[in-house]
């Protein structure tokens, strides 16, 4: 409802200028949403801040403002409260008009960005030949939601999967592959074995000096473009990718481009050269590095960011420096977003600092590292299987679906319902996957969270099933009353009489504020919280005792309430879609 806030601000400006003269017109009226409904919908403390400047009593100032404040058609008569606050309560008639205007808009009143940006979202980014772990799952879920929100605003989003497909680990992988399989047998290597294969290679690398030496040479071969090394490398990358794709398909996540670390190879030497030209490069024990501002070791000496190792090799930081440049210069991005665990916060701060000092990041470019916390098991420790192994993502998602299915089958039995296998399988998949996604997104991403199937699959609480159920329940109203929501026409009146109707209406009008906030600060949990409250407010409105009748109401109330139902459903659907969550008409 930010246009309401904007309107109110204008009215305040006029009132302040009329009451105290032009020089006071621009005092920020600070229209905060009142946290307690007793104080109306908005509360302004402008009189308090003005009173100091004017040397007058705050309550008197507030009264003077109110006398000049013209908010007819928007609010009830403004009230002075407490030390001199001004409380504003929106008029039902105003809410009714606003609701009607968002109802007739397919975007529910949310305007597209006036100046769309080219935004790069760098997310997921698992590493070749290693297991994609829960950290990558978080990055995938959060990054996808952020990309969806930005796309919804009409930004030109480039979703990049910065896969770890380069680095010294390939030396041992290639060597082990070459020494255990002939090229023609590569394809016999089964996917499940890839991680085992990584372990074997690592073990040989750690135990066998000569193997280690051959591995080093393989890295050089690969970097110098040796054909045989490249075939082995490509093979490993493709195998991994197929495995990652299974997870992405299950999660309904897509990328615009697979641009792994190797993509930036041709630009690495230029990075080092240009840092040298910018006089930032220092040689330290054979390695080339940039000494950082604000990062020191235990002795208080500045820390270096190494960009070229003493053996001539480049590293993770060099690649990210090349990537920043490429994304700004070639992709023409004006906002860069990186979604990784909080453990990489220093890495990014350092890379961005060096890129800034090298003048590779123009002023008007916004860069956000979007950090997130750990996923923990119910014991508060790192997530493990019962037998103590790291959890495979595919297994984790499958388990959520299996449990969702068991819950559903139980409910069908209790409710004595018969459903087709197709219905059950689809509902279980949607609920299972949504539950995992929502459990992740609904947490403030900077904190760790505990992975609990029981909690995320519960029908009560801030969970996906609760939200999906609210949506399905509304569709149930349309089925039961044989009302086609799409055909309620547009000549209806919206009438807000009951308290639960007003509360629901006000909440429905806040969607744009919330989505806009997510676009700015990239915290999808705000949207989750909003949708959770929406479902709760809807359930109160529809509650037999506390709420109002809908299908059994007399016209014109019946249509008005059906409109509220449909608007709630559309809001849930849109909000959930921005979280990457599908809805179910029945469940
Ligand atoms: N592959 C890295 C990891 O698994 C994440 C890459 C994140 N993106 C980046 N541009 N560094 O930790």
What share of the chain has pLDDT > 90, as a percent?
82
Which residue, judged by its Cα, is nearest atom 5 of ligand 1?
Answer: 125
Asked if residue 145 and residue 267 are part of one domain, the reply reads yes
Q: What is the best residue among 137, 344, 370 to mutate for testing ligand 1's pocket, by most ligand atoms within 8 Å of CB? A: 344
475 lies in some domain: no
Over the stretch 371-397, which tens digit does the pLDDT of each residue have?
Answer: 999 999 988 888 877 777 778 899 999
Measure 188 CA to ligand 1 centroid, in angstroms: 29
Give, for 144, the enclosing helix (H) or strand (E): helix 134-152
Q: Is residue 318 part of a domain?
A: yes
Specify if 412 maps to a domain.
no
* Tens of pLDDT, residues 98-152: 999 999 999 999 999 999 999 999 999 999 988 888 999 999 999 999 999 999 9
Residue having the nearest C-alpha atom to atom 6 of ligand 1: 125
DSSP 391: P
Say yes or no: 349 and 315 in one domain: yes
- Ligand 1 centroid to residue 320 C-alpha, Å: 9
pLDDT digits (tens, 9 = 90+) for 149-180: 999 999 999 999 999 998 888 999 999 999 98
Between 135-144, 168-177, 484-493, 522-531, the lowest mean confidence (pLDDT) is in 484-493
pLDDT in tens, 543-565: 999 999 999 999 999 999 999 99
- For 573, the token pair is 């659907």
> For residue 377, how many other CB atoms are within 10 A of its CB?
16
Q: Average pLDDT for residues 420-449, to the nearest whole number?
A: 97
The pLDDT assigned to 6 comes to 87
Q: Please report whether residue 394 resides in a domain.
A: no
Q: Does residue 481 belong to any structural domain of this protein?
A: no
Note the pLDDT tens digit of each residue in 303-334: 999 999 998 889 999 999 999 999 999 999 99
CA distance 57 to 75: 25
Torsion, Cα 147 149 154 158, to 10 degrees, reads: 0
249 CA to centre of ligand 1 in angstroms? 21
Label residue 191 by pLDDT band (50, 70, 90).
Answer: low
Residues 132 and 236 in one domain: no
Is residue 570 in some structural domain? no
274 and 365 in a common domain = yes
**Residue 499, in any domain of the structure:** no
What confidence tier does 2 reach under pLDDT thresholds 50, 70, 90?
A: low
Beta strand 375-376 pairing with 366-372: unpaired
Q: Are residues 328 and 301 in the same domain?
A: yes
Q: What's the average model confidence in pLDDT over 183-204?
A: 81
Q: What is the mean pLDDT of residues 76-83?
A: 94
Where residue 310 sits, what CATH number does that domain have?
Answer: 3.40.50.620
538 within a domain of the structure (yes/no) = no
Predicted confidence (pLDDT) per residue in 334-377, tens digit: 999 999 999 999 999 999 999 999 999 999 999 999 999 999 99
Number of domains in the chain: 3
**In a shared domain, residues 218 and 333:** no
CATH classification at residue 85: 3.30.1360.70
**Cα–ligand 1 centroid distance for 143 (angstroms):** 12
Helix or strand or coil: residue 219? helix
Query: Are residues 269 and 146 part of one domain?
Result: yes
Q: How far apart are CA 437 and CA 450, in angstroms?
A: 13
Q: How confident is the prediction for the chain on average, in pLDDT? A: 93
- Say yes or no: 128 and 60 in one domain: no
Q: Are residues 140 and 196 in the same domain?
A: no
Residue 317 Cα to ligand 1 middle (Å) = 10
Question: How far lies 2's CA from each of 7, 34, 111, 505, 528, in Å?
Answer: 8, 15, 11, 15, 19
The predicted structure's pLDDT at residue 416: 96
What atom in ligand 1 is closest to the CA of residue 164?
1
Q: Which amino acids bring their CB within 6 angstroms of ligand 1?
A: 122, 125, 127, 162, 164, 320, 323, 338, 340
Confidence check: pLDDT of 1 > 70: no
Do 241 and 186 share a structural domain?
yes
Residues 236 and 314 in one domain: no
Same domain, 234 and 302: no
- Domain stop point among 228, 252, 276: 252
Torsion (CA) 88, 92, 98, 100 in degrees, nearest 10: 170
Distance in Å, CA 125 to ligand 1 centroid: 5
Question: Which residue, of 222, 252, 282, is where some domain finishes?
Answer: 252
Given 190, 224, 252, the domain boundary residue is 252
The residue range of the domain holding 339 is 118-161+261-375
pLDDT for position 192: 66
């Amino acid at each position: 409802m930010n246009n309401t806030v904007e309107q109110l601000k204008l009215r305040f400006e006029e009132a302040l200028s009329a009451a105290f003269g032009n020089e006071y017109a621009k005092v920020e009226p600070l229209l905060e949403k009142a946290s307690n409904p007793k104080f109306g919908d908005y509360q302004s403390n402008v009189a308090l801040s003005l009173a100091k400047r004017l040397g007058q009593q705050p309550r008197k100032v507030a009264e003077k403002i109110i006398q000049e404040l013209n908010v007819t058609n928007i609010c009830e008569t403004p009230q002075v409260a407490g030390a001199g606050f001004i409380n504003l309560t929106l008029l039902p008639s105003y809410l009714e008009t606003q609701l009607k205007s968002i109802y007739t808009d397919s975007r529910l009143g949310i305007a597209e960005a006036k100046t769309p940006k080219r935004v790069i979202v760098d997310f997921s980014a698992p590493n070749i030949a290693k297991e994609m772990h829960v950290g990558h799952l978080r990055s995938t879920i959060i990054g996808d939601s952020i990309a969806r929100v930005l796309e919804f605003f009409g930004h030109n989003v480039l979703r990049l999967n910065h896969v770890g497909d380069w680095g010294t680990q390939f030396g041992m992988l290639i060597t082990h592959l070459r020494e255990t399989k002939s090229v023609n047998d590569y394809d016999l290597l089964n996917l499940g074995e890839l991680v085992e294969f990584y372990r074997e290679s690592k073990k040989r690398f750690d135990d066998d000096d000569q193997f280690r030496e051959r591995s080093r040479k393989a890295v050089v071969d690969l970097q110098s473009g040796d054909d045989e090394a490249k075939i082995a490398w490509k093979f490993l990358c493709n195998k991994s990718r197929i495995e990652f794709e299974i997870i992405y398909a299950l999660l309904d996540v897509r990328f615009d481009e697979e641009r792994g670390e190797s993509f930036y190879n041709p630009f690495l030497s230029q990075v080092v050269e240009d840092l040298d030209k910018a006089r930032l490069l220092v040689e330290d024990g054979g390695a080339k590095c940039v000494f950082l501002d604000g990062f020191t070791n235990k002795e208080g000496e500045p820390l270096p960011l190494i960009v070229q190792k003493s053996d001539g090799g480049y590293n993770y930081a060099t690649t990210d420096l090349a990537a920043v440049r490429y994304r700004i210069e070639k992709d023409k991005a004006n906002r860069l977003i990186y979604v990784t665990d909080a453990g990489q916060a220093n890495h990014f701060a350092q890379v961005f600092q060096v890129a800034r000092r090298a003048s590779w990041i123009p002023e008007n470019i916004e860069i956000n590292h979007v950090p997130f916390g750990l996923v923990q098991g119910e014991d508060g420790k790192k997530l493990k299987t019962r037998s103590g192994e790291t959890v495979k993502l595919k297994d984790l998602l499958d388990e959520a679906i299996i449990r969702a299915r068991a819950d559903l089958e139980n409910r069908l039995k209790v409710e004595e319902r018969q459903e087709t296998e197709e219905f059950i399988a689809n509902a279980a998949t949607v609920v299972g996957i949504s539950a995992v996604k929502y459990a992740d997104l609904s947490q403030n991403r900077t904190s760790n969270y505990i992975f609990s199937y029981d909690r995320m699959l519960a029908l009560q609480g801030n969970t996906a099933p609760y939200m999906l159920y609210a949506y399905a329940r509304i569709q149930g109203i349309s089925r039961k009353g044989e009302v086609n929501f799409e055909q309620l026409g547009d000549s209806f009146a919206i009438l807000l009489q009951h308290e639960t109707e007003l509360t629901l209406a006000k909440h429905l009008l806040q969607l744009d504020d919330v989505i806009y906030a997510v676009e700015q600060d990239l915290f999808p949990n705000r949207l989750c919280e909003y949708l959770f409250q929406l479902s709760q407010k809807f359930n109160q409105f529809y509650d037999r005792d506390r709420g109002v009748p809908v299908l059994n109401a007399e016209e014109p109330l019946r249509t008005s309430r059906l409109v509220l139902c449909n608007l709630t459903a559309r809001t849930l659907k849109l909000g959930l879609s921005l979280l990457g969550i599908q809805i179910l008409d029945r469940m």
